[in-house]
Amino acid sequence: MTFLVPPPLARLLYRPIVELPGLSTRALIVAPQPGGDEPSLEHACADLALQPGGGSLPAVLPLSRSQWRDPALPKRLADALGTHGIARGRLQLAVTESVGLEDDLAMAALDAAHEAGAGVVLMAFGSGLTSLASLDRLPLDEVMLDPGLVTQLADSAYQRALVSALATVAASLELRLTVDGVQTHRQTLALAELGCSRAAGPLFGSPHRLHAQGVSTPIDPTLQH
């Protein structure tokens, strides 16, 4: 994947979410930043505004527990979306069970995110027993499967059955599903057979900065088998 960055420079690193089987990029995920710095709402919105014509690719921004529990989060979110003219749903905020889904402050922030115009994504879906119980009470738009669920997908009947079941649950609740952690071409074939249409992972390139000339997603030839 090659990103050519015109001024002003994009601030954050991203990895793609691709559509199967065509592998066209459908969305972006903010990747861990060098030095371990927490990515900010402001930087994510500024980056999205770099795309030509206002852009169309949505971006998923994982927030930490402290970010979700920040009382100023709703105002910062509304200000960042408004300042950069980000359309409703283009910025999606990601939450994991480790954030503390029983935390009243975090739950209020999830509702506020939706009201402000941001989507909400549950990451690492299927990694814990509380994930399924969470789906009917969280204001979710999308779930991303935990990468550990697909490590042996091409050869494991158990993993295929598990992914198929989780995909069925997501579809029945009208939630978009992305399978994260894809490393090989054989895994993409297995996902396509299971009816999964969106994937992310090392196979689709290492994290790079956003650019304003479009996004390409070449397959890493060392990870195809």
Domain that holds residue 101: 13-211
Residue 6's pLDDT is 45
Give the C-alpha distances (Å, rounded to integers) separating 20 from 26, 169, 216: 10, 19, 15
More confident residue, 112 or 129: 112
Percent of the chain's residues with pLDDT above 70: 84
What is the rounded CA–CA span in Å between residue 184 and residue 202? 8
| 191 within some domain | yes
Please list, in sequence order, all residues whose beta carbon lies within 8 angstroms of the beta carbon of residue 35, skipping any fewer than 6 positions away.
none
Q: pLDDT tens for residues 77-125?
A: 999 999 999 999 999 999 987 776 667 777 888 899 999 999 999 998 8
Residue 57's pLDDT is 85
Q: pLDDT tens for residues 64-74?
A: 888 988 889 99
| 220 within some domain | no
pTM: 0.86
Residue 3's pLDDT is 43
pLDDT band of residue 221 (cuts 50, 70, 90) is: very low
CATH of the domain at 152: 3.20.20.450
Residue 4's pLDDT is 45
pLDDT above 70: residue 32: yes
Please list, in sequence order, all residues whose beta carbon lies within 8 angstroms of the beta carbon of residue 209, skipping any fewer than 6 positions away.
3, 5, 9, 10, 12, 13, 14
For 54-67, letters b (16+ CB in 10 Å) and e give ebebbbbbbbeeeb
Query: Into how many domains does the chain fold?
Result: 1
| 199 within some domain | yes
pLDDT band of residue 34 (cuts 50, 70, 90) is: confident
| 84 within some domain | yes
Cis, peptide link before residue 16, omega less than 30° from 0: no
Query: The tokens of 87 are what?
Result: 């359309």
| 217 within some domain | no
Q: What's at 109, amino acid-wise?
A: A
What is the rounded CA–CA span in Å between residue 95 and residue 110? 9
User: Measuring CA to CA, which residue among 99, 106, 102, 154 is closest to residue 124?
Assistant: 99
What is the rounded CA–CA span in Å between residue 160 and residue 17? 20
Residue 210's pLDDT is 72
Q: What's at 176, amino acid-wise?
A: R
| 8 within some domain | no
| Count of all residues that appear for the chain in the document | 225
| 45 within some domain | yes
| 125 within some domain | yes
Query: To the nearest whole number, what is the mean pLDDT of the chain?
Result: 84
**Do residues 77 and 116 touch, judged by C-beta distance below 8 A?**
yes
Q: pLDDT tens for residues 8-23?
A: 567 899 999 999 988 8
pLDDT above 90: residue 56: no
pLDDT band of residue 139 (cuts 50, 70, 90) is: confident
Tell me how crowded residue 93 is: count the other CB atoms within 10 A of its CB: 24
Tell me how crowded residue 155 is: count the other CB atoms within 10 A of its CB: 11
Determine which helix (DSSP H) or strand (DSSP E) holds 171, and give its type and residue range.
Answer: helix 157-172
Residue 7's pLDDT is 45
Determine which helix (DSSP H) or strand (DSSP E) holds 165, and give its type and residue range.
Answer: helix 157-172
| Residue whose token pair is 């089987």 | 21
Residue 100's pLDDT is 64
